[in-house]
Amino acid sequence: MESIFPEPIMTLPEADIPLNGVKAFLSQAEHHQVIFMEFEEDIDLPEHSHCAQVGIVIRGRIDMLFSDELRTYKQGDVYYIPAGVKHSGKIYAGYADITFFDEPNRYKQK
């Protein structure tokens, strides 16, 4: 799969994300992280919570389950997960997004 991201993004350090089939690039700031992610295969996300997260869907589809509410996000959608909110989901092959994490240590560099 050809990357949707241009060279300046792809020259950022890779993020060490413990999921199969994901390529992620890390923009590190003092108080937050921005991750540019692309998925080559379907991924099931178990229920979890973390700091606040904002995602901008560039391509593909992600389904997220909040309590008993299923929400689907596609290209052009923006999602927001407040800090501490439990959620699970499914990311479909071909998905790409830009994700902001409101904490500086969510992911490490590879």
Q: What is the pLDDT of residues 28-59, one digit of tens each?
A: 999 999 999 999 999 999 999 999 999 999 99
Joined tokens for residue 53:
């997260």
Q: Give me the domains of the chain, ranges plus CATH numbers.
A: 21-101 (2.60.120.10)
* Model confidence at 97: pLDDT above 80: yes
* Model confidence at 103: pLDDT above 80: yes
Cβ neighbours of 30 (radius 10 Å): 5
* Model confidence at 110: pLDDT above 80: yes
Joined tokens for residue 106:
């969510």
From the CA atom positions of the chain, what is the Rg in Å?
13
Joined tokens for residue 28:
């590190």
* Model confidence at 27: pLDDT above 80: yes
pTM to 2 decimal places: 0.93
* Model confidence at 2: pLDDT above 90: no
Q: What are the beta bridge partners of residue 99?
A: 35, 55
d(CA 7, CA 81): 29
